[in-house]
């Protein structure tokens, strides 16, 4: 779901459809009358309780920090790797089978092995998440590097741009859409994986909390954490990705 569809200029349909979903949910919950299927109002109550008196903000903060750090690591390494492979065909012939394997190793296997080899420590979490993400970024940026237009490189050469200007004016603008796509997909993947990694080997963070409340069958609190999480995603969409995409694409017809 694109943020522009939810809250963008004049996109009232997005807001209306979210409200409709909440209404249906509330009605459904009223029908079910079950502790295991709370309505949005109950969830909201748990959410405010957990945020005001409980540890929600602490765990959410920790998880967000983990997402942020592993996201940056994965983007930096994946981008560098992808661009290198896109430009050096011989290296690509050597490494592309590795990429395909890494892309297809189940995330859970990577997580378990990293915990086994590095121990149940913070570094292991960051490594496990980054390892799951790097191949995706690399493959996307490799595509971008292959698609660099020779025409513009020639313009840079004729008009003697120099390496720095060429990078800034010619290469980065062409890679930007690939980078943004990788970042958006990357964040979506990392959100999901971080929780699993927390659940398997850490004693704090949203993933850990979810597991605790799951064991107590405290569904309203499970949903409260999920809702807090979704709100964060929406905020990042609205505040970071939408404006960036708008800026990167304003020259298009």
Partner 1 sequence: MTIRLAIDRKVYAARAGAPERVLFENLSLELGDGEVCAIVGPSGIGKSSLLQIIAGLDGDFVGSITSVPQPVGYLFQTPRLLPWRTARQNLELVMFDRPERAGEWLEKVGLSGSEDVYPQRLSLGMARRVALARALAVEPKLLLLDEPFSSLDEETLRGMQDLVATHIARLRSTTLLVTHHWYEAAALAHRVITLDGSPARIVDDRRLQQARAAE
Binding positions for partner 1, rule: CB under 8 A: 151-152, 154-155, 157-161, 165, 169-170, 173, 250-253
CA atoms within 13 A on the CB side of 61: 5
Residue 154 C-beta: closest distance to partner 1, Å: 5
DSSP state, 238? Answer: I
Please give the structure tokens belonging to residue 214: 């799951």
Helix (H, G, I), strand (E, B) or coil at 67: helix
Is the separation of the CB atoms in 37 and 28 below 8 Å? Answer: yes
Helix (H, G, I), strand (E, B) or coil at 148: coil
Q: Which is nearer to partner 1, 9 or 252 (CB)?
A: 252
DSSP state, 169? Answer: I
**Hey, what's the torsion of the CAs at 83, 85, 89, 90, to 10 degrees?**
140
Residue 56, classified by CB atoms within 10 Å of its CB into exposed (0-12), middle (13-18) or buried (19+), is buried
Residue 168 C-beta: closest distance to partner 1, Å: 10
Q: Which is nearer to partner 1, 36 or 150 (CB)?
A: 150
Q: Which is nearer to partner 1, 123 or 165 (CB)?
A: 165
CA nearest to 67, candidates 176, 189, 185, 202:
189
Is the separation of the CB atoms in 174 and 148 below 8 Å? Answer: yes
Residue 149 C-beta: closest distance to partner 1, Å: 9
Residue 173 C-beta: closest distance to partner 1, Å: 4
Residue 90 C-beta: closest distance to partner 1, Å: 19
Q: Which is nearer to partner 1, 119 or 173 (CB)?
A: 173
Q: Which is nearer to partner 1, 106 or 162 (CB)?
A: 162
Q: Which is nearer to partner 1, 161 or 241 (CB)?
A: 161
C-alpha–C-alpha distance, residues 181 and 68, integer Å: 17
How many Å separate Cα 164 from the centre of its chain?
Answer: 30
């Amino acid at each position: 779901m694109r943020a522009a569809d939810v809250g963008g200029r004049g996109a009232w349909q997005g807001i209306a459809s979210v409200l409709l979903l909440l209404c249906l949910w509330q009605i459904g919950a009223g029908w079910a009358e079950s502790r295991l299927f709370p309505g949005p109002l109950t969830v909201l109550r748990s959410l405010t309780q957990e945020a005001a008196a409980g540890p929600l903000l602490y765990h959410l903060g920790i998880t967000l920090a983990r997402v942020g750090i592993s996201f940056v690591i994965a983007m930096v390494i994946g981008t560098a790797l992808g661009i290198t492979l896109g430009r050096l065909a011989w290296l690509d012939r050597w490494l592309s089978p590795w990429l395909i394997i890494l892309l297809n190793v189940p995330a859970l296997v990577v997580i378990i092995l990293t915990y086994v080899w590095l121990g149940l420590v913070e570094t292991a979490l960051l490594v496990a998440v980054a390892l799951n993400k790097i191949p995706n970024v690399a493959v996307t940026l490799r595509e971008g590097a292959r698609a660099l237009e020779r025409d513009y490189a020639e313009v840079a050469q004729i008009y003697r741009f120099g390496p720095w200007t060429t990078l800034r004016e010619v290469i980065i603008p062409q890679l930007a859409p690939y980078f943004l796509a990788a970042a958006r997909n990357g964040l979506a993947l990392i959100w999901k994986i971080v929780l699993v990694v927390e659940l398997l080997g850490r004693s704090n963070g949203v993933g850990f909390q979810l597991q605790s409340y799951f064991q107590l069958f405290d569904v309203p609190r499970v949903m409260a954490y999920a809702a807090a999480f979704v709100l964060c995603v929406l905020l990042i969409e609205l505040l970071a990705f939408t404006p960036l995409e708008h800026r990167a694409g304003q020259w298009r017809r």
